[in-house]
Amino acid sequence: MTDTPVYGRRRALPTTQAAEPPFGGREPAVIEGRVVSTPTPPPASGGWDEAERVAQASGGDVYLKITENKQIIKILAEGPFDAYNSHWIDEIEEGSKSVRCWGANTDCPLCAYGDKAKRYSACFSVVSLEDPEHPSLRVWEAGIKILRQLKEIAFDPKRGPLNRDDIYFTIRKEVKKKAVEYTLERVKDRDLEEEYGVTPMDAETLRKFAGEMHTEPIKALYNEAAMEEVVQILINAS
């Protein structure tokens, strides 16, 4: 592959071009307290088959599904274990249409092609109490607005940290016309029984979930070959 490959009728891919992420041009890949790291693109190998394998590896049931009904969750760590921008590629016919951006200040082929990464996700390990008798470990993908609410709580000495033993949260969504809004509320464990009829989890159960929580990126970066396959899909659809 040349340094600046040309795809069809489109311009050559530049070597320094990326979508502008939130937080003033920095794309946080992992946020732990105030430490931010940036992803490094994987080596060139694989191809579309590899892209499909990565897209399907996690499975849909790992994610927290937010509905219009309040759902009680318990956050297991002080902050998100992963955060990224992603491209949405409607032209992908099989597998996930969401493709993780390589990040700012990288040679992301999709950014260079002109496809802007439009969605921001911060990933938290949580326990869902949707079924209080059978709590389940989930990954919660929070958007930028909810992330900022959580950050305020996390660094407030009277309300944080997020994984305080006596703190739970409720989350629900509301569809307004074509927009979706999320409502987050902080709940003390002493109020769970009275307000929601839910018994707080005991210390042993919490330790068990904390020992199994997700700590590695849930959406892997596509390698260079796979990204070029996605770019080619866009070219063929144009």
Higher pLDDT, 12 or 123: 123
Helical residues (DSSP H) of 58-200, grouped into ranges:
109-113, 144-154, 189-196
pLDDT at 167: 97
pLDDT at 44: 44
Question: Would you list the domain boundaries of the chain?
Answer: 30-237
Q: Is the pLDDT of residue 77 over 90?
A: yes
Peptide bond into 161 cis (omega under 30): yes
Q: Please tell me the distance from the alpha carbon of residue 106 to that of residue 122, in angstroms, as a whole number.
A: 20
- What mean pLDDT, rounded, does the chain reach? 80
Q: Is the pLDDT of residue 179 over 70?
A: yes
- How many CA within 13 A on the CB side of residue 9? 5
User: pLDDT tens for residues 122-156?
Assistant: 999 999 999 999 999 999 999 999 999 999 999 99
User: pLDDT tens for residues 90-113?
Assistant: 998 887 899 999 987 788 999 999
**Which of 215, 174, 168, 213 minimizes the C-alpha distance to 194?**
168
Give rounded-to-5 percent helix, strand, coil for the chain.
Answer: 25, 25, 50
Higher pLDDT, 225 or 21: 225
Q: What percent of the chain has pLDDT over 70?
A: 75
Q: Is the pLDDT of residue 190 over 50?
A: yes
User: pLDDT tens for residues 22-71?
Assistant: 333 333 333 333 323 344 555 444 455 555 454 444 455 789 999 999 99
| Under 8 Å between Cβ of 96 and 51 | no
Q: Is the pLDDT of residue 200 over 50?
A: yes
Which amino acid makes up residue 37? S
Q: Is the pLDDT of residue 86 over 70?
A: yes
pLDDT at 197: 94
pLDDT at 178: 79
Q: Is the pLDDT of residue 171 over 70?
A: yes
What length is written for the chain? 238
pLDDT at 139: 95
pLDDT at 47: 53
Q: How confident is the model at residue 211 (pLDDT cuts 50, 70, 90)?
A: very high
The CB density around residue 170, as the number of other CB atoms within 10 Å, is: 18
Q: How confident is the model at residue 218 (pLDDT cuts 50, 70, 90)?
A: confident
Q: Is the pLDDT of residue 204 over 70?
A: yes
